[in-house]
Amino acid sequence: MISGSREDGQASLRILEAANEFQELRDDWSAWSDSPETDLDFFSIHLRHRCGVVQPHVMVVYRSGRPDCMLIGWLYQGSVAFNVGYFTLFQPDARILHFVERGFLGNQSLGNSQFLVREIIRSLHEHNAQAVVFSQLNVESPLYDSVKREPNVFCRERFTPVQNHRFLTLPYSFDDFLRALSRKSRHEFRRHVRMLERDFPGKVRFQFAGSERDVESFVRRADEISQRTYQRALGTGFVNNLEPRETLRVAAQKGALRACLLHIDERPAAFFCGILYKRTLYGSFMGYDPEFKKYWPGLQALMRVIEDSFEPSGDLLRVDLGGGNWPYKRALCNSSWTEGPVWIFAPTVKGMSLHILKVVPTLLHSVAVGLLAKSYCLRRVKKMLYRRALRRYQRKMFRTTRGPSIASQGSERGQPVREKAHTATGPAFCQNETVPFGSGHVPTFLSRVRRAWQSMRIGRRRTTIKKLAKYAWGELRPRFCILKLSGESTHLSPQSVLSLEPGELVEVKSEREIQETLDSRGTLGGLGFLPTMKHFCGKRFVVLKKVERVYLEETRRTRRLKDTVLLDRVMCDGQDMGCDRSCFFFWREAWLRRVNRE
């Protein structure tokens, strides 16, 4: 469908809000696109599989009856994270118009930029969205200047965090590329290569993936490595779900996939994946096993991909490693530009609220980074936060084994489907192993007072005050609907709570319906759904009793469960682990459906 069109002098605007309207612009779109992010095929994958995308929003400017430029984006509905560093301070729900990085295609003149920005501001006045975000605009581009100047003082973003976007212009051959590096960088790279070959003689192997049949194996092993990285703990690492798999598969079909796996002693140790698009290699994903950190395995995989991408005709022009100030990017890249995300907020109560929630974390982040940089502690603090995030991720989620990744299949919603539920130490073979993660402790008033008094006596006053402030914040936060902290919720949605009572007749939902309620660990609110429970899907049972408290023999503590019941004569046979206890299965009410007795 066409949302509408406007005319302003010689320019007219057409807004496309359906994917079937893109085909008539394919020729111009393909000619103007200069990165995989804006390619029509890859953009369509993002529309289909990215969580929260409501519909596309492509603004096309016509002059003299022909397309002159376009701005590519989509309408997003969901939570928006406002961070201080890697910590989410606010996460409100909003309706955001998101324009992708390098999404301004065609004639990028100042006149077209001003025309598009004015139309965007007009749509905000019509309450089509609460805010607009331009992902990583070049600060020297006309569009950046227009976005900063056109909105009024209440709607424009005054503090924009910027970063360096680094790329490498390549010479004719890989040998010339190595000679162009600084002497220190070249020496360090060769030294780490020799160190790896010395410690693992004959056990170092590079595996390249470029065809469509190699994608599934590469994705599975890359996910296995990514689960051990701090990027995954921060929510920015490679994840084996539908969107990256489909992106790599389409890149392989186009002959543009450039991926490499480094195996050390037959173990996957590092990976790098890029897409070759119009003579430029764009880095997509990179990660390495921290156990082999001293060998620089990620950099070695990257260098092998660069070497493999050189063609005899010298067609490879440059390597784009994206934004960031990592040491390997500073060592390899010889050019950069400055970029940053820019926001425009709607002149409404919700828009102004988002503006305030965006300004506070941005200022705090800028002040903190500035102070740490002046005290020469920024790098040390970053490493400390990375290690802490990785430890928390491994403790609360799961520690990966050295075997193959379990997340080898994706659900229809883009989340990995696991054959077994996972705890913090690996796959769960008994549902009781997941009970500590799917339940809450049962504190008493006296125990809280006793712990607070003991902390005050031994001199931990500051810690006690912090805990009291955190408790007060937890009590006050629900009263402010606009403030919402991040994190995976362990509470069930109101629609999944049936408030079942003993004696009621219920039906276990189908396996597909239950899988849609599970997270990446195969659990709902921490409580696992095991393969042996699939045999009861589609059958009817009577509710035996509600489960509110459970005593755990291992920890000698009583845990509290919510929205969980036991079903009459539904017990574990113990065949998978050789157990004869015949325990009742715990059933979340979201896995059941109430049946009326006739």
Q: Where are the domains of the chain?
A: 2-163+340-366, 171-316, 419-438+490-594
Q: Quickly tell me which residue has 């982040």 as its tokens.
A: 365
Question: What span, in angstroms and rounded, lies between the C-alpha atoms of 219 and 200?
Answer: 25
Give the mean pLDDT of 131-135: 94
Residue 154 phi, psi dihedral angles, 5° rounding: -85, -20
Residues 62-72 as b/e (b if ≥16 CB within 10 A, e otherwise) read bbeeebbbbbb
Burial tier of 394 (Cβ tally within 10 Å: 0-12, 13-18, 19+): middle
CA distance 471 to 108: 52
* CA distance linking residue 27 with residue 29, whole number of Å: 5
Residue 492 phi, psi (nearest 5): -90, 155
Asked if the model's pLDDT at residue 110 lies above 90, the reply is yes
Segment 266-272 mean pLDDT: 92
* Amino acid residing at 298: G
Give the single-character DSSP code of 234.
T
Tokens at 126, concatenated: 């019509």
Strands (E), 471-570: 505-508, 523-524, 527-528, 540-546, 549-552, 557-560, 564-567
Q: Do the beta carbons of residue 170 and residue 318 sit within 8 Å?
A: yes
- For residue 459, what pLDDT is reported? 56
Average pLDDT estimate for 70-91: 88
Longest dimension (CA), the chain: 84
Helix runs in 150-260, H state only: 174-180, 183-199, 215-226, 230-233, 242-253
Q: Are both 2-163+340-366 and 171-316 of the same fold?
A: yes
Pair type for strands 131-138 and 93-106: parallel
DSSP 572: -
Residue 148 confidence (pLDDT) above 80: yes
Instruction: Kindly indicate the confidence band of residue 374, based on its pLDDT and cuts at 50, 70 and 90.
Output: confident
- pLDDT confidence tier of residue 10, bands split at 50, 70 and 90: confident
Q: Which residues contact 229 (CB under 8 A, 6 or more apart)?
A: 237, 287, 288, 289, 290, 390
Alpha carbons 490 and 527: distance in angstroms, whole number: 9
As a whole number, mean pLDDT of residues 138-152 equals 93
**Exposed e or buried b per residue across 168-182, where buried means at least 16 C-beta atoms within 10 angstroms of its C-beta:** bebeeebeebbeebe
Give the pLDDT confidence score for residue 424 in this predicted structure.
Answer: 41
Pair 137, 342: CB distance under 8 Å: yes
- The arithmetic mean of pLDDT across residues 555-566, rounded, is 83
Average pLDDT over residues 448-456: 62
Choose among 240, 218, 244, 297: nearest CA to 42.
244
Instruction: State the Cα torsion 235-239-243-247 to the nearest 10°.
Output: 120
Q: How far is CA 273 from CA 27, 59, 298, in A?
A: 28, 31, 11
CB atoms within 10 A of CB 355: 22
Closest by CA position to 80, among listed 263, 350, 440, 283: 350
- pLDDT surpassing 70 at residue 331: yes
Is the pLDDT at 394 greater than 80? The verdict is no
572 — pLDDT class (breaks 50, 70, 90): confident
Q: Which residues, other chains included, contact 408 with Cβ-Cβ below 8 Å and sequence gap of 6+?
A: 216, 220, 240, 416
Question: Reduced to 3 states, what is the DSSP secondary structure of residue 167?
Answer: strand
Q: What confidence score (pLDDT) does residue 466 get?
A: 67
Q: How many Cβ atoms from other residues are within 10 Å of residue 224's Cβ? A: 24
Q: What would the pLDDT profile of 173-226 be if each residue is shown by its tens digit? A: 888 888 888 888 889 999 999 999 999 999 999 999 989 899 999 999 998 898
Q: Determine the pLDDT at residue 240.
A: 86
Give dist(CA 521, CA 428) in Å, integer: 10
pTM score above 0.85 = no
Pick the CATH number of 2-163+340-366 from 2.40.110.10, 3.40.50.1980, 3.40.50.300, 3.40.630.30: 3.40.630.30
Q: Which residue has the higher pLDDT, 298 or 451?
A: 298
Task: Check pLDDT > 80 for residue 440.
Answer: no
DSSP assignment string, 432-482: GGGGGGSSEE---HHHHHHHHHHHHHTT-HHHHHHHHHHHHHHHHGGG-TT
Mean pLDDT score, 294-307: 91
* Helix, strand, coil percent values for the chain (each to nearest 5): 40, 30, 35
Q: Which CATH class is domain 171-316?
A: alpha beta
Environment class of 356 (CB within 10 Å of its CB; exposed 0-12, middle 13-18, buried 19+) = exposed
DSSP 8-state secondary structure symbol assigned to residue 562: -
